[in-house]
Amino acid sequence: MWDKRAEYLGNRDGNNVKLVLDQGFGDTKLVDIRLLGVYAPELSEKGGPECKEFVAKWFEAHDTDTTRWRFIVTTSSLKDTDRYVGIITDIGIESNLNAELTEFIHANGYGETGS
C-alpha cells in the first residue's frame, strides 16, 4: 500500500471514483479507485443514486480551498489486475470517505457491508 496526494475528478457510482494522483516531481497519474471495504448498491438498486450523490457531495464539502491536492488516497493494486482499491481521506485526515459512506449506507438501510 502507498499514500498519494489526490485530486477528485468524478465518480461513476457510490464506490468508484476517478482521481489524479500526485506521483511527485510534477508527474501525475489518472486512476480509477474502488473504495476499499465499501459495498454501495449498484445505480439500478435502491440507494445507488443516493450513494453516488453522497460521494460527490463529500468531495465537494471537503474541497474547501485552492489547494489542488486536497485528498490523500491510500492505495493498493489487486493481484493479477490493473484495478486499484483505496481509502480516501481529506488532507487533514479528519474525514474518511470510506467510513462515512459505509455509515450512510447502513443508516439508510441501503445494503449490507461485508456481503
CATH of the domain at 21: 2.40.50.90
In a domain? residue 7: yes
In a domain? residue 115: no
In a domain? residue 82: yes
What does the pLDDT average to over 31-46? 95
What does the pLDDT average to over 55-70? 88
Nearest to 19 by CA among 54, 58, 71: 71
* Count of domains for the chain: 1
More confident residue, 92 or 99: 99
C-alpha cell read off for 15: 464506490
| Residue range(s) defining the domain that contains residue 73 | 2-107
pLDDT at position 45, please? 95
In a domain? residue 64: yes
Of 30-34, 52-56, 59-63, 77-81, the range with the highest mean pLDDT is 52-56
In a domain? residue 37: yes
* Position 114 confidence tier, pLDDT thresholds 50, 70, 90: very low
pLDDT at position 113, please? 46
